[in-house]
A and B are shown apart, each in its own frame.
Chain A
Amino acid sequence: MAILLNRLKELRARDGLSQTELAKLTGSSRQTISLIERGDYLPSILIAMKIAKVFKMPVDDVFSMKEEEGE
């Protein structure tokens, strides 16, 4: 099984953005950003692209897939 990793926390810290501010910039809620950041929720392609656009990076620099060992 594959899992989705993300660099949201690191990139937010780099750009000095709070979860609330990132949520506003992507047109989503703070809860959604928090869920994605914690890895509790897999975002839709649309929201992943919006987040990548805020950080001015390609989507796969923000999100990456990892195959779990032993699968």
Chain B
Amino acid sequence: MKKRKRSRSILFTFGIGAAIGGITALLADIMPLAPLEREWITYALLVVLLLMTFRISVLWIRSTKPDDLAMDVDELTLYREKLAHNFIGSTSLFLIVGFGALFTMILEWKESGDLFSGPITYALSLTAILVFYGFSAQMRAIKFHNKHNPEVPINLKKTDGYEEYFKKLDEGEKFEEYRAAYKSFYSMHLLFPAALTLLFIISIFSSPQFLAIAAVSVLWFIMYIIYFREGAKVYQQR
């Protein structure tokens, strides 16, 4: 039974390998990949950032509005919890995209040769302003959270501000955090090999992506080491 399972998994691995090989061969034949247009990526990131600016601005305005007196106590608590969650989450996503856009644009700007005018300079300035706005919005989001959840405050002045917050959560809230972290871990565990395969394919048909492949591999390795070490703790206790 075990032998059959093993031979099945070997066949499956070969099948996946053959499928990837076939697809890449097909891609090479019918659609050779051109080098990615970096300028296009930077402007796409800027558009995404502008759309996200609208979203966090709406949440910012909502956080300043007085409480709706028509709501009962549970509806009001739920509304505040949801708003704080969406506001902190949206500003965090905004800053992730913002830094991605900022770093890409700085590289693009440096290579453009035209350091004081030109579209990339204006785009870079706008992105820097938006990232600053994102920071301010996140500060506001955290203040909103701390105002309505004083028992579980987030302290960004400390390096372990979120660790303190996590320690103070009660059992149900901790359960939710663990569940979210579990889902995030397993999604990333599937996405890392997919990203590596994609970078490998791009490296074959376009410019080699040595640094990106190394970075993805290291991140995947670190993520798994953290998981592995935490899991091993259960065997150390007698």
Contact = CB atoms under 8 A, between A and B. Distances in A.
Interface size range of chain B in the complex? 10 to 19
B149 to A, nearest CB: 9
Contacts, number: 43
Instruction: Summarize A's interface: helix, strand, loop or mixed.
Output: helix
B34 to A, nearest CB: 49
Interface in B49-72: 72
Interface in B24-59: none
Interface stretch (B87-95, B166-174, B207-215): B166-174
A31 B173 CA distance: 7
By CB atoms of chain B within 10 A, which of A21, A32, A33, A43 has the most? Answer: A32
A33 B72 CA distance: 17
A41 B179 CA distance: 11
B175 A41 contact: yes
Interface of B: 72-74, 77-78, 81, 152, 169-173, 175-176
Q: What 9 pairs across the A-B complex have the smallest Cβ distances? A: A32-B172, A35-B172, A18-B74, A28-B170, A20-B77, A18-B73, A20-B73, A29-B170, A19-B74
